[in-house]
Structure 1
Amino acid sequence: MEVSEQSGVCCGTCSDRKSHHSEATKRNLINRLNKIEGQIRGVKRLIEEDTYCDDVLNQIASIQSALNGVSKILLEGHLKTCVVERIQEGDLDVLDEFLGTIQRVMKK
């Protein structure tokens, strides 16, 4: 397994790639995901209670926006760490991988 000296974390050149998130970023992402999880439970409850469709749809839009926020944080971190490191190592295939990821994220 090859490990980047700069980050101490493997990215790209080994079979089980890992992310480079700082503890603060992990806490931020987990907190956001916990809130989203609660929102999803709330939408389930709204549906069980036959809440007016427009109200449920507004809650779903809020969840989608929150998930987009998580995606933005992850994309930024991925670009600044994993993608840059792999390019520096001469692995330009990462660009196609990253563009594919952007297309999937933006499809939503």
Structure 2
Amino acid sequence: MADTQEKKVCPCCTKHTMRSEEERKKLINRLKRVEGQIRGIIGMLENDAYCNDILIQSAAVNAAVNAFNKELLASHIRNCVARDIREGKDETIDELVATLQKLMK
């Protein structure tokens, strides 16, 4: 195996963000918790759990995804957006506005 590992990147993405190992682990752990909650809801459905109980768990998943989004958005603004503005890339502001509009639907 070579010293330089090639990162697997989404083929549809043209931009990349280098994150610290700590930040990457923190975000991945949040998503793994969400994944576990989703598996729990699937189990509830498979066991014919009461609708209201499933809805409460679904709301918890939504809250967890929102918390993930808030954390990632804050990091994006502090790092990517701030860097691009310093470099004179004002189109990043339009990109941020479009992203915020999608998040607020």
Q: Which category describes the TM-score, using the shorter chain as reference length?
A: 0.7 to 0.9
Show the counterpart of 1:102: 100
Amino acid in the other structure paired with 1:21:
R
Q: Which has the higher contact order (CA 8 A, sep 6+)?
A: 1
Q: How does 1:1-108 map to 2 (within 5 A)?
A: 16-107=14-105
Deviation at 1:23, TM superposition (A): 1.2
TM-score normalised by structure 1 residue count: 0.81
Q: CA RMSD in A?
A: 1.3
8 Å contact from structure 1 (residues 21, 77) kept in 2: no
Identity %: 41
Structure 1 runs not aligned, ≥5 long:
1-14
Q: Once superposed, which parts of structure 1, at least 4 consecutive aligned residues long, lie more than 2 Å away?
A: none
CA-to-aligned-CA distance 1:22-58 (integer Å, 9 cap, x gap): 2111111111111111110110111111111110000
Count of residues in correspondence between the two structures: 93
Provide the rounded CA distance (Å) in 2 between the counterparts of 1:48 and 1:30.
Answer: 27
